[in-house]
Amino acid sequence: MPRDKPLILADPTPRAMDLIFAPAERAKLERLGDVIAHDQGPMPDAMVDRHLPEATILVGQTAMPKERLDRARSLRAIFNVEGNFLPNIDYDTCFQRGIHVLNCSPVFALPVAELALGAAIDLARDISKADRDMRAGRETYGLDSNRRAFLLTGSPVGLIGFGDLGRALRSLLVPFHCPVKVYDPWLPERLIRAHDCVPAGLDEVLGTSRVIFVFAGVTRENQGFLGRRELALIRPDSVFLLMSRAAVVAFDAFVELVAAGRFRAATDVFPEEPVASDHPVRRLEDMLLSAHRAGGMMEAFRAIGEIVVSDAALILAGLPPVSARPAQRETIGRLRSKPVSIS
Amino acid sequence: MPRDKPLILADPTPRAMDLIFAPAERAKLERLGDVIAHDQGPMPDAMVDRHLPEATILVGQTAMPKERLDRARSLRAIFNVEGNFLPNIDYDTCFQRGIHVLNCSPVFALPVAELALGAAIDLARDISKADRDMRAGRETYGLDSNRRAFLLTGSPVGLIGFGDLGRALRSLLVPFHCPVKVYDPWLPERLIRAHDCVPAGLDEVLGTSRVIFVFAGVTRENQGFLGRRELALIRPDSVFLLMSRAAVVAFDAFVELVAAGRFRAATDVFPEEPVASDHPVRRLEDMLLSAHRAGGMMEAFRAIGEIVVSDAALILAGLPPVSARPAQRETIGRLRSKPVSIS
Amino acid sequence: MPRDKPLILADPTPRAMDLIFAPAERAKLERLGDVIAHDQGPMPDAMVDRHLPEATILVGQTAMPKERLDRARSLRAIFNVEGNFLPNIDYDTCFQRGIHVLNCSPVFALPVAELALGAAIDLARDISKADRDMRAGRETYGLDSNRRAFLLTGSPVGLIGFGDLGRALRSLLVPFHCPVKVYDPWLPERLIRAHDCVPAGLDEVLGTSRVIFVFAGVTRENQGFLGRRELALIRPDSVFLLMSRAAVVAFDAFVELVAAGRFRAATDVFPEEPVASDHPVRRLEDMLLSAHRAGGMMEAFRAIGEIVVSDAALILAGLPPVSARPAQRETIGRLRSKPVSIS
Amino acid sequence: MPRDKPLILADPTPRAMDLIFAPAERAKLERLGDVIAHDQGPMPDAMVDRHLPEATILVGQTAMPKERLDRARSLRAIFNVEGNFLPNIDYDTCFQRGIHVLNCSPVFALPVAELALGAAIDLARDISKADRDMRAGRETYGLDSNRRAFLLTGSPVGLIGFGDLGRALRSLLVPFHCPVKVYDPWLPERLIRAHDCVPAGLDEVLGTSRVIFVFAGVTRENQGFLGRRELALIRPDSVFLLMSRAAVVAFDAFVELVAAGRFRAATDVFPEEPVASDHPVRRLEDMLLSAHRAGGMMEAFRAIGEIVVSDAALILAGLPPVSARPAQRETIGRLRSKPVSIS
């Protein structure tokens, strides 16, 4: 018996339905189709297998090997409700059949960009350090407390990685009139220039920028590409903000250099999380610490639901999705080597 | 004997010549006229009196009562190298004779605005608090640490005071697409709207904004205008940033309300500075502390020198100054009641 | 014998190689691969068939039915060097095999947006009409010539169609602080709001905007969707700019309404081009006439070459293209019904 | 007998009260004080003399020699409701007494800037010329009509004069990402740089800019400063827009150079207005003609009333005006040598 409404299968673990769908969005989702959801842990295989043949939209990180895809004859889209792509999908089959595989990484761009900007100003002006000093009763006032402070306005900025995160940050920088250099080996110079940035090599970005933001994701090829040699290029009066993935940096060298006063830094990511209680990074005066909290805020999770509803509506109307991030043949193999989970 | 070059008398205490004039600016100043400077404390009276009759430009906070002005027949401008106007000048005589009395407050606008933005994002995202938590080994990760975090983007902003500081901040907010309400009883609605803001009453600004910035200077009339009643209007999920003068706020009530968790706040100013070592403000978890350091950074002091050189050049060429802030007949009496020294 | 360098087959008619590739871009293309080009009319079939088996990149509007695609085993991308997609390609096969089919429509966005803005100000201020009057010796001066003039700043704007063209125009409008409504049935409200616009129905856009821009492309479904009823909703003091395709408008009704003084308008497109020498549109005082010249300027054609080189370099490096516009499964069937050639 | 309300004397000829005060503004003016107005020609002397002793605000271009000022003991402000300052006021006495003398030139900034931008795009894209061609049945289509067209985006821009008009235009240029050079001998480099422009000499601006805007007012010293030699520096592919005063240009040379095809141009001003019916400027193909209509539009005249009401309210409240343009001791003597009337 043919369905009246398309079937939407929701298996959002590790996210709860209520987290990602505000009531109004959940209601919109219900209007789009019959929603069968399970968020008390991963949807049981039997449940997946029972509904998959009729499902048009799959919301979640459900394993989708070829056998399952072959039975999911109506399937038109898989929404990963995180910011990454997992290796548990037969992407080739999806590409051949035109099944959209999508993740929701764009929702994290603005949260990360805002925190990155706040952290950059914090480092440029020693905001949190001055706060600590005052709590400890050792503050100095006025110029004495500002000996190494500098204005972001006009300061040369370097962006390492220029995807959603980098572009969101670049927009926030507009009123600061900073010259911005970008290193991103996956992007052509033309696109970088179109965002009023100057393409540059990695060494140049590191050696000439006063404020350096790292937004690069991890791929098979780029682990540790910010090694000790590269970090040593950073100018002593510069600040360095690691906002994406700890694995792109030689983290021990990073900690050592900041400990030695070579430059000031902030990091939102760590090689192991939670960070060991005795890890030396916890005691660095010149390292602003953030416990993997740049992206995973309520407004981002709610935006996941909005993106899913919005793109599902387009797909069900026979139009292409425009909000979520599509998996692409060329990059999926590189990205999925290590799960990315900005949250 | 007439002078070949105009005489510039520099009495910049409490600032040193080297602080406010970078070498290149000092060289420009020397090209404009003969510079006689004394910065080892206030210029001795005898020295002032000897040179005043020939001085065209006076740089400093030198007392200038009527008797002195009467002898300073060539004087065309007095530059106060701070951000305030002092009551030690006979302003009426200056206004009558067209002697420009100028201060350098515009140089502090951008430093304060940048720090204010950084502090606002800090409060919205608990940046310094999360850093403290991680140093103390009590951090939480991801969403758990973000329960009260919110995006600045789109958040309703309120500005109390819309002079140089408020306008500089407003420019930095443009990419955040915030609706901005402004309370400033000295400014017409037309001007506020021209900056893409909505004029509003004080209570409305306090009660409807998620992020409230106080940039109001102190006048005879407005001391303590942000009293307990007004502060109580602030929404529990809002953040409040005191960036200008402690005297505009009922400071004890302010501290109590933040201690009680009524809202989060930041302050750069305190009723007494240095702050007493046992002042309760030092222990507030939800108060970001800054020891009067928003404006007084190196780049601001150097900008003072640039402004002085730039406007002195115009004045000596028979043109009006355009960079420094002129004293005005209407407001000088109100402002000078209490010296302002944003530094 | 395997090739040392990838083969790039260029069949750019109706464009010449020299038009779309500036010398520097042509040199870059040659570095990417062995370029075999023919631009003296369409590449002869024999020539296509000889080279296709080895070609990696095809630049042009060459017919590519399934038989040819089956022999083009190395093919990874087809660049249409116009702004449209033609029905002479077996798109399904391309989608299955992951052959990128791309057009260069993004290059026309900025040229069209700039001309559209210029035309809007022209209509708002009667620029070309006043110029005509002065040539005819019938000008009036000052306010007398400005009785129906209005400022763009703050005027309500309506955009019909919000693809590349609409978004480029929207960016140019930012300093004018206009409220902008958008009608685009292919896009979700979320995306429209993200560009600081308000989604609205067609009738609302037409009836409440002072300046209406039509950027909608033609699809199977939307021909003539701006009919007499819709055009009659336009306010008498509004201006209407047709910038995309004549077929979306009931053109005769459009001409009649402008002739009757119902509103002022500009058009860059006409149902038949060249326009008949006695077509009444040529004599309308309140219609700004542009002979399909909004997009097809030298800088746009040169940008085509830049896009091709830039995306070909990515594709040959195993990365996805980012500059050209990809054909999509959902929309290709709708778009290709009528060739689009903004040039 | 003392007045209950301040007296506002309105003598706005050549403007009518109804033109500059919309009903709502007129009502606000009436609330500020007792308004005595005469706009059927200049206010008769007897009427002026009768009311002047009690007047607090004077709105108009009334002659105010010393004798009258001496009797106007309550006078605090004179609003010239045009964009200029006339030599019929004893400015020295006003300056001494602190009577604000104000004009309303800021209202013309946005109208002129919008028209200037429209005219610049017109010239860059031959908008009005193409319209003329199509009316004459001699149009060409697409690229053939665009041989000399260029994008404003990224084009080097030169501004000659950087007062209200230049700054308003500069704001509108932001999305075009043009490098902007400014020549203004009255302004310091610092201020020019603060608007994201580069200060430059006149010859450099003329010789290196693709789009040149002239916004300079006329002073005693600068008549004809854009002489034949200077105009000859303009590049053949550039466009030149005269937006302020004809007297700053050697107009005959200007016409000759455009006639000779040396560059394209637009002008809103002419040495004599109305322009003689046989003036050769009327027949230039490459000159966009505008009959002194850039500023004098309804919205500008209404803004005059808003400025008067807004600043009068501040003055009556004991605060300084912030919207109108104040006469200044240094420049009034230079400016008033020739009446300026942008309308």
What pLDDT, in 10s, does the model give residues C159-180?
Answer: 999 999 999 999 999 999 999 9
pLDDT at residue A144 above 70?
A: yes
- What distance in Å separates the CA atoms of residue C232 and residue C221, rounded to the nearest whole number? 21
- What distance in Å separates the CA atoms of residue A212 and residue A119, rounded to the nearest whole number? 11
Closest Cα partner for B288 from B273, B262, B269, B275? B269
Question: How far is CA C26 from its chain centroid?
Answer: 24
C307: DSSP letter: H
pLDDT of residue C335: 67
Other residues' Cβ atoms within 10 Å of the Cβ of residue D27: 11
Mode of pairing for the β-strands spanning D157-160 and A55-60: unpaired
Closest Cα partner for C96 from C117, C115, C69? C69
| Cα–Cα–Cα angle for B218, B296, A180, rounded to 5 degrees | 120
Residue B325 forms beta bridges with which residues? B103
User: Is B254 at the interface with chain A, CB within 8 A?
Assistant: no
Nearest to C190 among A306, A315, A320 (CB): A306
- What distance in Å separates the CA atoms of residue B29 and residue D6, rounded to the nearest whole number? 47
pLDDT of residue A337: 41
Query: Is residue B333 very low, low, confident or very high in pLDDT (cuts 50, 70, 90)?
Result: confident
- Chain B: residue whose CA lies nearest to D190: B310
**Has residue D343 been placed in a domain?**
no
- What distance in Å separates the CA atoms of residue D135 and residue C131, rounded to the nearest whole number? 14
For residue C167, the distance in angstroms to the closest alpha carbon of chain D comes to 12
Q: Give SS3 for A32.
A: helix
> Which residues, 6 or more positions from A268, have their beta carbon under 8 angstroms from its beta carbon?
A112, A115, A119, A242, A243, A290, A291, A292, A293, A294
B190, B195, B308, B323: which to substitute to probe chain D, counting the most D Cβ within 10 Å? B190
Which own/partner pairs from B88-94 qualify as long-range (CB within 8 Å, at least 24 positions apart)?
B88/B61, B88/B62, B88/B63, B88/B64, B89/B63, B89/B64, B89/B65, B90/B64, B90/B65, B90/B66, B91/B327, B91/B329, B91/B332, B91/B336, B93/B66, B93/B69, B94/B64, B94/B69, B94/B327
Question: How far is CA D211 from its chain centroid?
Answer: 20
The Cα-based distances of D150 to A288, D146, D257 in angstroms read 48, 8, 21
Domain termination site, one of D269, D289, D309: D289
pLDDT of residue B249: 98
Other residues' Cβ atoms within 10 Å of the Cβ of residue C87: 14
Q: B332 with B78: CB under 8 angstroms?
A: no
Closest Cα partner for C47 from C68, C16, C76? C68
Measure the CA dihedral C189/C190/C191/C196, to 10°. Answer: 90
- Put simply, the answer to whether C140 touches D291 (Cβ < 8 Å) is yes
Residues D113 and D211 in one domain: yes
Q: B255 with B280: CB under 8 angstroms?
A: yes
Side-chain half-sphere exposure of B168, counting CA atoms within 13 A: 22
> Which residues, 6 or more positions from B326, have their beta carbon under 8 angstroms from its beta carbon?
B100, B101, B102
User: Is B150 at the interface with chain D, CB within 8 A?
Assistant: no
- Put simply, the answer to whether C320 touches A328 (Cβ < 8 Å) is yes
Q: A294 with A112: CB under 8 angstroms?
A: yes
- What distance in Å separates the CA atoms of residue A159 and residue B76, rounded to the nearest whole number? 49
Give the helix, strand, coil percentages of chain A, each rounded to 5: 40, 15, 40
Interface size A-B, in CB pairs within 8 Å, comes to: 180
For residue D289, the distance in angstroms to the closest alpha carbon of chain C comes to 5
**Has residue D209 been placed in a domain?**
yes
Q: ipTM surpassing 0.90, yes or no? A: yes
Span B187-230, pLDDT tens digits: 999 999 999 999 999 999 999 999 999 999 998 889 999 999 99
C323 contact residues in A (CB cutoff 8 A): 188, 190-191
Span D101-127, pLDDT tens digits: 999 999 999 999 999 999 999 999 999
Q: B215 with B162: CB under 8 angstroms?
A: yes
Closest Cα partner for C127 from D127, A201, B239, D62? D127
**Alpha helices per DSSP H over chain B:** 17-20, 23-32, 45-51, 66-71, 91-97, 109-125, 127-135, 164-173, 189-194, 202-208, 228-231, 251-259, 298-316, 329-335
**Has residue A342 been placed in a domain?**
no
| Cα–Cα–Cα angle for A243, A248, A254, rounded to 5 degrees | 80
D93, D322, D330: which to substitute to probe chain B, counting the most B Cβ within 10 Å? D330
A123, A139, A275: which to substitute to probe chain B, counting the most B Cβ within 10 Å? A139
B319, B323, B332, B334: which to substitute to probe chain D, counting the most D Cβ within 10 Å? B319
For residue C101, the distance in angstroms to the closest alpha carbon of chain A comes to 14
Type of residue at A254: F
- Chain A: residue whose CA lies nearest to C303: A190
**Has residue B340 been placed in a domain?**
no
pLDDT of residue B200: 98
Nearest to D314 among B188, B310, B311 (CB): B188
Nearest to A98 among C310, C314, C329 (CB): C329
Structural tokens at position D113: 């800037």
- What distance in Å separates the CA atoms of residue A336 and residue A88, rounded to the nearest whole number? 9
- Chain B: residue whose CA lies nearest to D194: B323
Query: Is residue A2 very low, low, confident or very high in pLDDT (cuts 50, 70, 90)?
Result: low
| Cα–Cα–Cα angle for B43, B48, B50, rounded to 5 degrees | 140
pLDDT at residue B38 above 70?
A: yes
Residues D242 and D190 in one domain: yes
- Put simply, the answer to whether B282 touches A121 (Cβ < 8 Å) is no
pLDDT of residue C4: 87
Q: B41 with B11: CB under 8 angstroms?
A: no
Predicted TM-score of the model (pTM): 0.96
pLDDT of residue B335: 67
Mode of pairing for the β-strands spanning A157-160 and A180-183: parallel
For residue B176, the distance in angstroms to the closest alpha carbon of chain D comes to 17
Please give the full DSSP string across A238-293, using - where no structure is assigned. -EEEE-S-GGGB-HHHHHHHHHTTS-EEEES--SSSSPPTT-GGGG-TTEEE--S-
C86: DSSP letter: -
- Put simply, the answer to whether D298 touches C149 (Cβ < 8 Å) is yes
- The secondary structure element, H or E, covering residue C92 is helix C91-97
Look at the alpha carbons of B30, B32, B36, B40 in this order and tell me if their dihedral is positive or negative.
Answer: negative
Q: Give SS3 for C2.
A: coil
Query: Is residue C2 very low, low, confident or very high in pLDDT (cuts 50, 70, 90)?
Result: low
Mode of pairing for the β-strands spanning D239-242 and C77-80: unpaired
pLDDT of residue C343: 36
In D12-168 the beta strands, taken as DSSP E runs, fall at 34-37, 55-60, 77-80, 100-103, 157-160
Q: Return the minimum-mean-pLDDT range out of C2-16, C103-117, D194-208.
A: C2-16
Q: B262 with B237: CB under 8 angstroms?
A: no
**Has residue A135 been placed in a domain?**
yes
pLDDT of residue B1: 52
pLDDT at residue A279 above 60?
A: yes
Residues B59 and B200 in one domain: no
User: Is B40 at the interface with chain A, CB within 8 A?
Assistant: no
Residue A221: exposed, middle, or buried by beta-carbon count in 10 A (0-12, 13-18, 19+)? exposed
Query: Is residue A131 very low, low, confident or very high in pLDDT (cuts 50, 70, 90)?
Result: very high
pLDDT of residue A343: 37
- Put simply, the answer to whether B310 touches D188 (Cβ < 8 Å) is yes
User: Is C196 at the interface with chain D, CB within 8 A?
Assistant: no
User: Is B316 at the interface with chain D, CB within 8 A?
Assistant: no
- Put simply, the answer to whether C127 touches D118 (Cβ < 8 Å) is yes
**Has residue C268 been placed in a domain?**
yes
- What distance in Å separates the CA atoms of residue B60 and residue B13, rounded to the nearest whole number? 7
| Cα–Cα–Cα angle for B136, B140, B141, rounded to 5 degrees | 130
Residues B212 and B113 in one domain: yes
Nearest to A320 among C98, C315, C330 (CB): C330
Residues A209 and A235 in one domain: yes
User: Is A320 at the interface with chain C, CB within 8 A?
Assistant: yes
Structural domain count, chain B: 2
Residues A48 and A84 in one domain: yes
**Has residue D340 been placed in a domain?**
no
- Chain A: residue whose CA lies nearest to B111: A151
The Cα-based distances of C54 to C3, C8, C70 in angstroms read 8, 9, 12
pLDDT at residue A338 above 70?
A: no
A290, A299, A341: which to substitute to probe chain B, counting the most B Cβ within 10 Å? A290
Residues A97 and A177 in one domain: no
Domain that holds residue A303: 7-104+298-335
Residues D252 and D132 in one domain: yes
- What distance in Å separates the CA atoms of residue C204 and residue C237, rounded to the nearest whole number? 16
Q: What is the CATH number of the domain that holds A119?
A: 3.40.50.720
Tell me which residues of chain A, numbers 64 to 103, contact chain B at a CB-CB cutoff of 8 Å: none
pLDDT of residue A335: 67
C292 contact residues in D (CB cutoff 8 A): 141-142
Mode of pairing for the β-strands spanning C264-267 and C239-242: parallel
pLDDT of residue C147: 94
- The secondary structure element, H or E, covering residue D162 is none
What number is the average pLDDT over the span D193-205? 97
Closest Cα partner for D157 from D210, D103, D194, D220? D210
User: Is B273 at the interface with chain A, CB within 8 A?
Assistant: yes
3-class SS letters over A76-118: CEEEECCCCCCCCECHHHHHHHCCEEEECHHHHHHHHHHHHHH
Residues B88 and B193 in one domain: no
At C130, give phi and psi (nearest 5°): -65, -35
Structural tokens at position A168: 């969101």
pLDDT of residue C221: 86
Closest Cα partner for A182 from A167, C306, C318? A167
Type of residue at C218: V
User: Is A341 at the interface with chain B, CB within 8 A?
Assistant: no
At A198, give phi and psi (nearest 5°): -110, 125
- What distance in Å separates the CA atoms of residue D27 and residue C2, rounded to the nearest whole number? 86
**Has residue A182 been placed in a domain?**
yes
For residue C285, the distance in angstroms to the closest alpha carbon of chain D comes to 10
Residues C134 and C253 in one domain: yes
Closest Cα partner for A77 from A57, A52, A63? A57
Residues B181 and B303 in one domain: no
pLDDT of residue A336: 47
Question: How far is CA A135 from its chain centroid?
Answer: 33
C329 contact residues in A (CB cutoff 8 A): 98, 320
Q: B340 with A139: CB under 8 angstroms?
A: no
Nearest to B190 among D188, D323, D331 (CB): D323
Q: B343 with B117: CB under 8 angstroms?
A: no
C188 contact residues in A (CB cutoff 8 A): 310-311, 313-314, 322-323
For residue B259, the distance in angstroms to the closest alpha carbon of chain A comes to 14
Residues D198 and D138 in one domain: yes
- Put simply, the answer to whether A152 touches B114 (Cβ < 8 Å) is yes
- Chain D: residue whose CA lies nearest to C274: D141
A318 contact residues in C (CB cutoff 8 A): 330
- Chain C: residue whose CA lies nearest to D128: C128
Look at the alpha carbons of A304, A310, A312, A314 in this order and tell me if their dihedral is positive or negative.
Answer: negative
A150 contact residues in B (CB cutoff 8 A): 297-299
